[in-house]
Structures are given as structure tokens and as C-alpha cells.
Structure 1
């Protein structure tokens, strides 16, 4: 089989002498990718050898892993001095033989990394495996890592990328017949003419369910349902690092970022699980609304706006770059900020530039984060450091003080309706988008005057204004003095234009 395949593609492929290894004739100066496994699954794996994918494939006997010596010869044949990455499907024989070959290669000073693929979610354990099986999803690992290697990624970087790809790769299948090993001459199991089996393995391993054939639409619905169940919104990283995030926030903020983001991610997870979005736009919208409602502060409206803008753009394109660019544009607009002001933009912007040039790596992202240490904050709560004591809370951010101001104003202007929308749901410090929307709805007047203290309140107000049909006038003036003065003027039915003029001297500079 190997000889015939190489003869058919002799212009680009060759066989390593005295082996069953198929390799590219001309090897680029890069980390080489090598995969392989038992034969009988053609075009896997020799058919994936080529520019931008594998540099070599090692072919074992039918349904039998290649031996360590064959794999070692393949590694040596494609090593260009930058190392070799092994892409191995999760079968016991493959794992043991490739691991042994890796150890042998390292004894000859060849740098070798391994990515194990276990994409099949049909069954947790099977005849040939411990854990999930590696099947059709492997081709995506070949393609993505092959492209990254071609762009110059090193062995460690490829291993990290491969693990991320595998973690987000799920497959499942259905079969009408069992597989037949030529030497055995009969299938491993038999299905009646009117039966199907869900989750059959590539070697003919039994699946998780056998039933009568049904319409393809119904079969597809079951497969898709199982695939969707295999994915879940990952909030664990935020929960694991919320204390660290709050520690980072304490010297230049108010130390609540970790808890706020953890609360927001939990809300996102619950929303996606309960509402079961059908489209990518639905996912972005639900994510946006959960973050806006639960994170509070400046982060909620900023992340929420980014997700909303990404959702809008995802309706017109499936390309990642314009979707991400829409997200960063939303952050810039909502926060009235730009890169270089020690904000989240200083991580987003370098990442997007790296995507444009095809050079995005974990190292780029880490460097962008590290670079923010040298920036002087000119936006957000961090910009107050040096002018106000660290951790000092502005009165307007606390619901109790807001309520006190409300009572004070009512002593002067009993007929003027006033609503406080301060503090988070549990009485914590922050700004709640939900409370602002409730305040809008509680007031029957079509024109509303809104006063705020910090940038986070302004961003939440602007976001709420985008979602209401009411005429809301936003005042960038000293909070207490402005609200008190306005209430007194409204008590004597002063026109809004005159009020705006009277408040001009109170504008925050």
C-alpha cells in the first residue's frame, strides 16, 4: 500500500527506506509534524502528508499501531534541527509505541513533543482505549498545528496550542455495519438491515446505543444534541484566579475585579445552559447581557459592549478578525479610550495586530500583559491613584449614600420624582445595569435626567440609554450639587434647557 501510494504521488512524497514511513520529499526549515497509526483508515495517515500538514506518517499493520523502531526512523527522517511534534490518537497501543519512540529519539538529542487527540465523545472507555478515542477530529489537529509550525512555532508552543485545540474538539458518529479486519474475515459485530449503532469506533468497537433506523433528521438531532452536551462554558479559570485578579486590582483599583468577573462568568454559564442558544449571535447576546447584569462597575458594560458588537458583526461574517475588531471598537467607544491608557485595550489591541500578521502566540499575549506595568493609567478607577487614597470609594457608588441623597432632595423638592440606581444586587459597591433599567421603567416621564459619579456608572448609563426609547439626558457634573440644584429648579417647573445652562459651572473637569 505504501509503495503504491508513494508512486502515485512521487513528485511530492517518498518512502523512508526499509520502513513504512511516508514523508515529504522537500522539508521546510521548521518543527516537523509526524503522525500515524494502524492502516485500514485511508486516507489516514499518509494522505495527510503535505505542505502545511504532516511532514511524515508512519503506517502500521491493519488496525495495529506502528512499532517504536519504525516511528523512530520517521522522527529521524524529518527532524530539521528544530524538533518534531508527534500527533497521537488516544489508543493504548499508539500511546505506548509513540512514547517509547519519543524516549529513543530524545536519547539521540532530538527534541520531541506530543499531542494526544481524544475527540470522540461517544463512550468514555473502549476496547482499544483508556479514556475517549481519537478519531476524525485528528485531521483538524494536523491542519491547525501544521499551519502554526509553518509560521515558525516551536515545539512547546505547538504542544500548548494542540492541547487547546483538542480540548475544544468533539466528534461522534453512527454506523450501519461493523468493521471487518481482513485477517479475521468477519465483522466484530452484526447489525440487522434495519438497525443502526451510535458511537461505533473506527476499529468496529461497539457504540453506546443500538436501535432501529430512523429518518436522517432525527439521527442528526441526536448526534448534535450529544455534541452540544460535550461542550460547556468554561468558568473554572476565572474562579481559580479570582483572588489573584482582585490582588492585581487592589493597588490601582478597589480590589473587587476577581469577584465581579467570577459572578459574571457564573451568570454566563447559567444563561447559556438554560436558554440553549441556536446561533453564534445568540451566544454573544446572552453572554453580553449576563456580563452587563452581573459584573457591575466598568468591566460589565465594557465586556458586554464588546460581546454585543461581536454578535452584530457575526451576523454578517464568520471571519474571526472582523468580529474581534468590532469588539475592540465597542470597548473604545464605550470607554472613550484608546490603547496606551492602561486599560483592557492594551491586551486586546496587540492580540488583534498579531492575528492580522498571523503571529499570535501565547508569548505575544503574555508580553502585552507584562507591558502594561510600565503604562500610566489615564482612564478608569486606576487613574485616580495619586489623587485619591487607594481603595477610597466615591459616595455615589454606594446605595445607602444614594438613598440618603434622595431623601435630602425630597426635603427641598417634594413633587420631583427621584430614583436611586446605585450599588449591586447584594448591596455591594458598584453600578448595576439592571437597577438603571428598572429606574428607567419606574419613571413614567418620557424625559429623564441622569446624574452619576464615576466612569463605570457613566458606561452603564450609556449602555442602558442605548436600550431604552426614553429621552435620557446625561449630566457630567458634580453629583450631589447637580442633583440637588436640578431638583430645586424642577420644583418651580424650570425648562430643561435652563437647567442645563445652570449646571454648566458644575461640570467635572
Structure 2
């Protein structure tokens, strides 16, 4: 089964190019319509007054190459099918229609199809009277003994330098010389955890789990070696050993997402690349970003460019293209020192036997109910409600026994309980109970009676937690119990209301909060909500004192 979202495979590239044109923030891209089988994207503002810069190749490397068309970079891109060179006719038509008296420079990645098709088109254009030069980029250092190194992400730096020189109006010889010098100044190495997947094709995963492949090509060509590690620092070290020059000249690093790496991973590898001893002295960072991808390949490449004053000025110059990201000066990380503020509520321990009995009754009830509540939750959730409540209860019971609680100051007691539950219970349940007790403590401190304070705690729990009565949560038991107390009814009435609310959850066919909300009514029917059961048992225990 294909991993691609598409309509028809034959329309994939054309439709994708249209999407890139729509998305250009400068509205400066157009299609050059010469033939249905030829795909040329060009600058809308092109007047042939400067040297034309034309690149291209197989599609599947987006944003390369159409994403680098615009003021300061390419004039046009000639796009082939996925991983297939554009035809000679396509390249020839781009040259003929875009080249003026200043001439044209073709920037070509070093692959056989691209070299041949762009080369023959250049020869035909010269025969027709056009001034055409061609620079072949081979920045891949994975195979140092190969006389034809592949052109990969470093090609974009050649685009940038040539585009800068052409934009300021220099002649074809100067633009060509700058592009050739830039090509000699770059080295690129890639790594991946998996290869790419082609439209309508299944690609086998040749990289073993826990390993990465070093030096693979942007069309999924096998790499030169496999490292039995996924440690980001070790991988960064292996790449930098291949691309970093021995001299101490200024350098720039281009960090390219090959298509399938998450933003989190790319930020991590960028940090590892910059902080490696091998890259100390690098001046600029370009990326991390998807610049020259390999469809959905999960990997990245790093390019090192040795800088000259011209190259430095060129990579920092502004452009009007979609795919380029601004070069940033690498500077040491800085932080702002601050003193950690303790959030712990400091309260003086005090004794109150009656309150201690209530606290212990609540804790003992929840601890004794642990297994049964877990069994209920296993039917409608993840099976840990009992353990979560019991963990909080054990902590409070322990502190009560050790005389660490402010039992004779109810606002202080509720505030401390709220803090402990947030720490010990964990997950959303702990935070919700902490909100409940913390808000209630605040209202008590402001002079409210206990029932009104508890009601305010309930309202805050509903506000932040998002649940309400009827959503099949502990609120279905807690709210009626508190409402009974606020109405001046005795604790026995509150306990009855809590039990009725708990029982009602068993017939609620749909949960609207918590993990139970992901289950259908068949799974919930007849099973009460474990949180509501816990609340009902706590009120029953208090009533029995």
C-alpha cells in the first residue's frame, strides 16, 4: 500500500508544483507553458537583464528546486518526474525562453541523467547562438574515491552564491567563476534511519532497528556504512569527521532535513553539531530545515562550506524565495540566572483530634478501596484509579501520623493537602484534586464557610478540568454532595446524594471526559465511574464517624 496522499500518480508532480506556486509569499512564481510534458517554473518578474540561473532535476526533493526561485537565487527550475531527470527538450526550452544577452548558467547536480540531459541541452542552445555555461556540483563526500561524487544539499549554497553575484549584475564569466568556487568549497554527508518510499511502491527497510546508515544518497541509494547506534551525538561526530576541513578558515554549516525527521529531532541534532569540538569555529548556521529532501527519508545531512568574504556576504544576503532560511551567526548560548521560587505552602503543624479522625477515615477508606477501584477502572479506563487515590491517601495518612499537618487550621490543612496530592498522585487526577483543595483553602482563608469553600473548589475543578455533571466523572458524585452541604443539609444527606450520583454513572451511556470518553456505551453500561465511587465512599466514611 502506498504511503502517499495523491490523486493520480501521473499528476503528482504537476499538482505539487501548483501548490508551491500558490504558497509563495511573494507571488513571484509562474509556470512557463510550452508543452504539457514540460515542467518549468520561473520568476514572474524576469526581464532577461541579468545572467539567467537555471537548475532542476528529478522531483521528490522539495523545496528543491522550485522553492529556490526568486530574486537573489534561481531564475527557473526544470522539474522531472520523481527521481527522474527532466528531458533535454525541457531544459532546452528553459534556456531558450529565459536567456538574454547576459547569458545563462546551468547549475546541475552530479547525476548521470542530469549531466547528460542538461549538457546536451546546453550544446543545442550554444549552437542556436546562446551563451550558456554549466557548473556540475558534486559535494557528497561519502565516497571519496569516486571520480563522480553526487550532488546533494550543498548545491543550494552554489545557487545562493551564484544568485547573489548574478543579482548584482555581474557577467556570465564572473557568475560561473563564483559558482565553481562555491562548489569546491562545500562538503556534504548524510545519515538516515530509514530509506524513502516512492509513490505506488513499497520500499523495504534495509536499516536494522537501532542503527543508522551513513552516506546514503538522496534517491535512496545505499550508504557506505551502518552505525549500530542512534545516539545523536555519535552520529553528529561521524558526519562532522567527513565534512569538516582541516584548516581554520571561517565556515558555515547547512543542516538539512531529508524529509522524515521531526522538528524536535532536528533541533537536537543541530545542537549536537554545533557543540561538537569538531565544529568549533564555525561562524554561521543555515537551518535546520527541509531544503533538499528525499521524499520521506528519515534522516538529515550536514554541509560545511569554507567561507570567503564573497561567500559570507552571499549566504547572508536577503532573497525572495520560499525554501531558503536565513543564515544566522553562531554565538554561545546564554541564560538568565534566577532564584528558584519554592511553591511549597509552609504551615505550622498543629493537633486537632477530631480533624485527625476525619483525615484518617478518608485515607483508610481510599486505601482499602484500592483494589476494587482498580478493577472498576480496568473496565472503563487504564486500571489505576484505585492506586492513584491510595497513593495520595498513604502520603496524607503518613504525615498525619508523624504530626506534620496543620490539623487545627483548616485553610492551611487544605492547602497542604492540595500540594501533596499534586506531587504524589500524579497524572490529571492529582492535579484536579490539588486544584479542588487549593481553591477551597483560598476561600476558607477569605472567611467563607467550609461548604461554600468546597463549592468554590468544585467550580475551579470543573473550570480547569472541563467536566460537568452528566459527563460520567467523580463530579457526578461530588457536586450533589457539596450542594447538599451548601443547602444546610446534614452530612448524611450529602453522603446519600454522593451515593446516588455515583450509582447514576453506571447508566450513563457516554463519558465526555477522561479515558472513558474513548469507549463506546457497550463498554460502559452497568459500570459506575471509579472516581465517583471513591467520592461516595469517602462521604459515607465521614458520615459514619
Q: Is TM-score (shorter-chain normalized) higher than 0.5?
A: no
TM-score for the superposition, normalised by structure 2: 0.41
After TM superposition, the score normalised by the length of structure 1 is 0.44
Larger Rg: 2
